[in-house]
């Protein structure tokens, strides 16, 4: 592909990303993968270059751009090499017209900036939310050894996480085959709050594709029982193949019906040593990986997430045995999804208590701990551990 063709491809992809953001469609990564699946002529360098252009444009525009072209014009305004590709040649975008509007720059929509500021995330910390994320992995000790993988891949250890490595961007992970899982250091840190040990019975209530489920299984040394549940069939279906590759044999999955979860979990009520709730949320802590997500969030969607969070907290609480732990996690930096939710739960359940957490990163926020990209070099998370009375 010529440089102009790469820019035009980025414009086409940005149009698709913008439409998806407005209509609740697929994520940018998925759209990029689909785009190149039908364009086999594009080599790996072409795909990487186009992807970089797309994400540069997404990160630069805090509000949803009018079009893919306007988003790329904003990049061109700051990069002469990109501007030069608007030359009207074959497969390249048309020349830039005098006075043609470019997308407005910014970090995020104003209402979100205000909400984050009210949650203690200042302007500098907000800017860090759309930086490029590092490549972190969790080494699976059932299959490999951190030192051996570090020597092979060139990774560096992460303080406080003996099974974690931070790898150079672009490291080829295709040959790992269960030796490690791509998992942000923050995700690994909040998993420690479960305090999983061999022999326990644990429920991962919102398991999704199972990244934290597999981290718990490794901490349990593949000894005990983990029930991984979700209401999303597609995401949950990816867990068991991953578990098999990782050599994990203590996980079972169960698909739940929304609002009828406890009917399907009657055999687990009051039985779990620990319940992990990685709650559905706004994802403000993961914008480094999904920067277009800030275009999708609205006050109405945020309100819907907080209602879901209250519901899953009640479901999870019913599963915890007396003296057991309920670990609440969101990949959000908004207090309304983190500290405020825990405060409301404790007010409604005065016999429960929050247990102080000793984690290798993060700072106290309400009755829990918050990690943020600016301070901790991780994705953003809030985590709290709540103890049911005996």
Could you give the residue numbers annotated as active site? 331
Distance between first and last Cα of the chain: 66
Residue 166 CA: distances (Å) to CA of 93, 170, 182, 189, 192: 38, 12, 10, 14, 18
Alpha-carbon torsion angle 277, 298, 335, 194, nearest 10: 10
Residues 242-267: b if buried by 16+ CB within 10 A, e if exposed: bbebbebebbebbebeeeebeeebee
Count of other CB atoms within 10 angstroms of residue 307:
9
What is the Cα–Cα distance from 373 to 131, expressed in whole angstroms? 9
What is the Cα–Cα distance from 126 to 124, expressed in whole angstroms? 5
Task: Output phi, psi for 322, to 5 deg.
Answer: -55, 130
What is the Cα–Cα distance from 222 to 230, expressed in whole angstroms? 21
The SS3 call for residue 334 is coil
Long-range contacts of 269-272 (CB under 8 A, 24+ apart): 269/318, 269/319, 270/318, 270/319, 270/320, 270/321, 270/322, 271/201, 271/319, 271/321, 272/201, 272/202, 272/203, 272/227, 272/319, 272/320, 272/321, 272/324
Among 50, 40, 39, residue whose Cα is nearest residue 14: 50
Any idea what DSSP says for residue 351? T
Do 294 and 112 meet the contact criterion of CB atoms below 8 Å apart?
yes
The pair of three-digit structure tokens given for residue 206, joined into one six-digit string: 């919102």
């Amino acid at each position: 592909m010529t440089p102009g063709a790469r820019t035009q491809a980025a414009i086409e992809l940005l149009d698709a990303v913008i439409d998806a953001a407005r209509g609740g469609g697929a994520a940018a990564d998925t759209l990029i993968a689909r785009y190149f699946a039908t364009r086999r002529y594009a080599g790996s360098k072409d795909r990487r270059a186009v992807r970089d252009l797309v994400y540069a444009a997404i990160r630069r525009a805090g509000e949803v751009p009018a079009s893919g072209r306007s988003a790329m014009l904003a990049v061109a305004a700051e990069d002469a090499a990109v501007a030069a590709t608007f030359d009207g040649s074959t497969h390249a975008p048309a020349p830039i017209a005098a006075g043609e509007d470019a997308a407005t720059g910014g970090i995020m929509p104003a209402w979100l900036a205000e909400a984050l500021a009210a949650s203690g995330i200042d302007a500098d910390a907000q800017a860090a939310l759309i930086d490029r994320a590092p490549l972190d992995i969790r080494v699976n000790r059932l299959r490999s050894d951190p030192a051996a993988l570090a020597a092979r891949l060139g990774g560096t250890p992460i303080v406080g996480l003996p099974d974690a490595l931070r790898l150079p961007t672009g490291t080829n992970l295709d040959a790992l085959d269960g030796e490690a899982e791509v998992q942000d250091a923050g995700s690994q840190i909040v998993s420690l709050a479960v305090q999983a040990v061999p022999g326990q019975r644990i429920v991962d209530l919102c398991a999704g594709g199972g990244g934290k489920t597999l981290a718990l299984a490794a901490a349990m040394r593949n000894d005990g029982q983990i029930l991984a549940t979700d209401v999303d069939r597609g995401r949950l279906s990816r867990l068991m193949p991953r578990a098999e590759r990782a050599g994990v044999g203590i996980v079972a999955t169960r698909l739940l019906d929304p609002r009828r979860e406890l009917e399907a979990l009657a055999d687990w009520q009051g039985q779990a040593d620990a319940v992990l709730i990685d709650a559905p949320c706004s994802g403000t802590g993961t914008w480094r990986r999904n920067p277009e997500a800030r275009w999708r969030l609205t006050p109405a969607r945020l309100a819907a997430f907080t209602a879901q969070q209250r519901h899953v907290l009640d479901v999870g609480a019913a599963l915890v045995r007396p003296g057991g732990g309920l670990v609440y996690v969101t990949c959000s930096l908004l207090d309304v999804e983190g500290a405020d939710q825990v405060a409301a739960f404790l007010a409604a359940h005065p016999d429960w208590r929050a247990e102080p957490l000793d984690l290798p990163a993060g700072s106290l926020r309400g009755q829990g701990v918050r990690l943020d990209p600016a301070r901790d070099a991780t994705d953003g998370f809030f985590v709290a551990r709540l103890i049911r009375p005996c």
